[in-house]
Structure 1
Amino acid sequence: MDAELDALSVAVGNALAARGWMLATAESCTGGWIAQLVTATSGSSAWFDRGFVTYSNAAKTDMLGVSPQTLARHGAVSEATVVEMAEGALTRSRADLAVAVSGVAGPTGGTPQKPVGMVCVAWAQREAPTLVRTLQLAGDRTAVRRQTVIHALGEVIALAR
């Protein structure tokens, strides 16, 4: 087990439980790692509602309602897409807060415009503006994915405080 990630999951749970909030996830490049991490914490059913793993564009459209036009215009790895992913996860769940991630974890798939390590993350809340950030992370595939999980959940804690 990873002590840093385990502690992060506990902190997420404590922050969400203190607010009485539920979390939903919409994941592409992390492949469900965020949901797996938070559900490894005992008692997470009190603050985790559901997770969507939407690796393909079709899944993003079918499961989260991401517009095909957004995907065609901006691509899967874009702020526009993760905003729609986060808002779709919020709409399709009982959560109060949803986090969405999409990126190029590598080692292949990067382009000059969207290099390996580029990850877009969005956080949607009910009755609040959706937040979005683009990160440029370093390292191999596992390192990029791990850093994405840490960043995504770190902001969940901040928003729940």
Structure 2
Amino acid sequence: MTDAAALLTRCRARGLTIATAESCTGGMVAAALTDVAGSSDVFERGLVTYSNAAKIALLGVDPATLDAQGAVSEQVAAEMAAGLLARAPVDIAVSVTGIAGPGGSEHKPEGRVCFGLATRAGTRTETVDFGARGRAEVRAAATAHALALLAAATY
């Protein structure tokens, strides 16, 4: 797992601030950051937008994107991250949306998680299939991956 304290130190040194928009991780990325004392000068806010309605209302995700692609998609992850960046006074926004399990489908299996990372330079996305290793493990792996994305964005 990426060291949240080191990430926060690097952001602090560069004057960068962070926000999170989380679905399947339910705030675990925000919790990892705020577990570090003094994180409030870097971590600005975290939103748990578990429902589609929350994604629309709080992040500005287009209902048409949700209808066409589903919540677990790179398109929705991109809109989540970009929407948060537009609404929060931060430099970096990360989003997480996926299927932690149990369950899934042939097209969207358990363990599939989509990530978005938005900065003033633009937004990028990626999908990771962690596999059907159980809800807790998928959520932990997704949290670690989101922290690694944030760390990579600070170099």
Matches within 5 A, 1:5-84: 8-84=3-79
Q: Distance in 2 between matches of 1:48 and 1:105?
A: 25
Which residue pairs with 1:130 in the alignment?
A: 123
SS of corresponding position for 2:36: coil
After TM superposition, give the deviation of residue 129 of structure 1 in Å.
Answer: 2.2
RMSD, aligned CA: 1.0
Give the 4+ runs in structure 1 shifted more than 2 A: none
Which residue pairs with 1:105 in the alignment?
A: 100
Q: Distance in 2 between matches of 1:148 and 1:14?
A: 22
How high is the TM-score relative to the length of structure 2?
0.96
**Which residue type is aligned with residue 122 of structure 1?**
G
How high is the TM-score relative to the length of structure 1?
0.93
Aligned residues: 154
Q: Distance in 1 between matches of 2:105 and 2:49?
A: 21
After TM superposition, give the deviation of residue 143 of structure 1 in Å.
Answer: 0.5
Q: Which moved more, 1:14-23 or 1:26-35?
A: 14-23
Per-residue CA distance 1:48-73 (angstroms, 9 max, x = gap): 00011000000000000000000000
Which residue pairs with 2:89 in the alignment?
A: 94
Q: Identity over the aligned pairs, expressed in percent?
A: 47
Q: Work out whether 1:151 is the aligned partner of 2:145.
A: yes
Alignment gaps of 5+ in structure 2: none
